[in-house]
Structure 1
Amino acid sequence: MKNKVEHIENQYTSQENKKKQRQKMKMRVVRRRITVFAGVLLAIIVVLSILLVVQKHRNDIDAQERKAKEAQFQKQQNEEIALKEKLNNLNDKDYIEKIARDDYY
């Protein structure tokens, strides 16, 4: 046996139906806003993550370049010290005499 329920159409039920429809629309709008906000937030997070990775890569490259330049600088300092020492020796009379004796006698 089927139970049939009849819908009563009066002012109260129509108001309730309109209220439910408005509530559904509000919820739909809220869901859309949340979805858009989440999408924007996700996009920001992705962009910041990409920037972080790129910056880390640049920092690694810069660190390698800095180490290479420090090594080159140290080498040049050592060369400068050696050249200054050689210059001092060439200005020393005793050293020149010793070199002359070694080379020519």
Structure 2
Amino acid sequence: MNKSELIDAIAARTELSKAASGKALDAVVEAIVEAVSAGDTVSLVGFGSFKSAPRAAREGKNPKTGEKIKIPATTVPKFSAGATFKTTVAEATKGKKKK
């Protein structure tokens, strides 16, 4: 599902126009990004939590040359799925083969 398909699904479930649904989706995503960027955790009960986490500096390899490179420390966004989300996905995929 891409963004426009998600907007269509929101519009169908909420009886909002596609334009209003798009604005609402953009506002939600923007609010989550701003909060996580500020170091806050965004918890949506049943769905999951968005937070930022530090990633330590490490040594890597250039895949083309094999040369060792230093990868600097950084902060990355993390998502942890909630229990309801995990259960729903697990039940929906029971018996389905992975591609």
Q: TM-score, normalised by structure 2?
A: 0.25
Task: State which structure, 1 or 2, has the greater radius of gyration over its C-alpha atoms.
Answer: 1
Q: TM-score, normalised by structure 1?
A: 0.24
Higher helix fraction (1 or 2): 1
